[in-house]
Amino acid sequence: MMNSSMSKVEQVDLPKGIQKSLMLPCKALGALWNSIIMDEDRKNELVNQSILNFTVRTQVTRSVLPLHGVILLVGPPGTGKTSLARGLANRTAESFFNAGRQFRLLEVEPHSLTSAAMGKTQRTVTELFSQTIAEVAASGPTIVLLDEVETLAADRVKLSLEANPIDVHRATDAVLVQLDLLAEQFPALLFIATSNFPEAVDAAFTSRCDLISEIPLPNAQACDLILRDCLKGLGQAFPPIAALQNLPEFSHLSAACVGLDGRTIRKVVANGMAQRQETAIDPNQLTINDLIAAATKAKSARVAAKGAKI
């Protein structure tokens, strides 16, 4: 049985730039990992790469294998990259739990590190990596979530010195320097980074990644599974909703959701319940046609949004 203290989030007196700190394994994150619906081979690849970080890197020098301890998850918004990163951290910790190794997860809040004051962002980033993260890594196996990493490691080639302060460039420099130093000093340290805009991430950062995994929009099978999982969950409170997945028209609903991200697909179900006032008052009256109509609207909104950006 997991120690109850290992599932508690520590939020008292967190250092600047750290949004969350908790010990792993964590029961809630274990459930999160199991709820992530995506290709199992891709999930296994991520777990294996993460585990490798804590087995091989502690035994082999970087002159043999130049591993930095960085995994980058890229893909469109709403594909579950942050949830996947948290679940991956927990799944990795579970793999070593029987060996008595406790892991810590740190979640970085990148936007809290930026500053309009010249040189302050660079100093804050350096302090975060060289002091806060280093101190935690010195105490045991550590996994750090760098969400929206393009905020900290912006592509310097694409930045304009006129539009972007030199501090932004120097912040990227600081991240790269610290990644190199931490990779040398702490082999039991892993960064899991995410980005909605991989083209905005500096090439020197991506070159340091041991694995870059693209998290795509769900295919038809994944859409089907996400919808079934959502309807099944709602069925615990509203039993008729769970039965909708058994209707012949359910395949039309799954097809209508292809092209949407996982987050939007689940919101389609909520929007379906809001299609009519009677279903909003009593969700038990939800029909498959309500859901198909909501999916169609969501798809139209997605197309319109893309057109507006062109």
> pLDDT band at residue 18, thresholds of 50, 70 and 90?
very high
Tens of pLDDT, residue by residue over 47-106, are 999 999 999 998 988 889 889 999 999 999 989 999 999 999 999 999 998 777 889 999
Domains in the chain: boundaries: 4-214, 220-300
CA angle centred on 194, ends 185 and 123, rounded to 5° = 50
Q: What is the mean pLDDT of the chain?
A: 89
Q: Which residue has the tokens 């930045």?
A: 159
| Contact in structure between 149 and 205 (CB atoms under 8 Å) | yes
Task: Tell me the β-bridge partners of 303.
Answer: none
Judge whether 159 and 169 are in contact, CB under 8 Å: yes
- Answer whether residue 3 shows pLDDT above 80: no
Calculate Rg over the CA atoms of the chain.
22
Q: Give the separation between CA 67 and CA 57, rounded to whole angstroms.
A: 7
The predicted pLDDT at position 1 comes to 37
Residue 309 has a pLDDT of 60
The predicted structure's pLDDT at residue 129? 95
Query: Could you read off the pLDDT of 241-273 as tens digits, one per residue?
Result: 999 999 999 999 999 999 999 999 999 999 999
Query: Cβ-count burial of 196 within 10 angstroms (0-12 exposed, 13-18 middle, 19+ buried)?
Result: middle
Q: Is 4-214 CATH 3.40.190.10?
A: no
pLDDT of residue 199: 93
For residue 91, give both structure tokens.
Answer: 């799944």
pLDDT in tens, 112-145: 776 544 457 788 889 999 999 999 999 999 999 9
pLDDT at 161 over 60: no
pLDDT at residue 81 in the model = 95
HSE toward the beta carbon, residue 176, CA cutoff 13 A: 19
Considering the entire predicted model, what is its pTM? Answer: 0.86
pLDDT in the model for residue 118: 47
Q: Which amino acid is at 173?
A: D
CB-count exposure of residue 229 (10 Å: 0-12, 13-18, 19+): middle
Torsion of CA 302, 303, 309, 310, to 10 degrees: 160
Peptide bond into 165 cis (omega under 30): no
CA dihedral 155, 158, 159, 160 (to 10 degrees): 170
At residue 310 the predicted structure's pLDDT band, cuts being 50, 70 and 90, is low
> ω before 66 within 30° of 0 (cis)?
no
> 105 to each of 78, 130, 138, how far by Cα in Å?
22, 17, 13
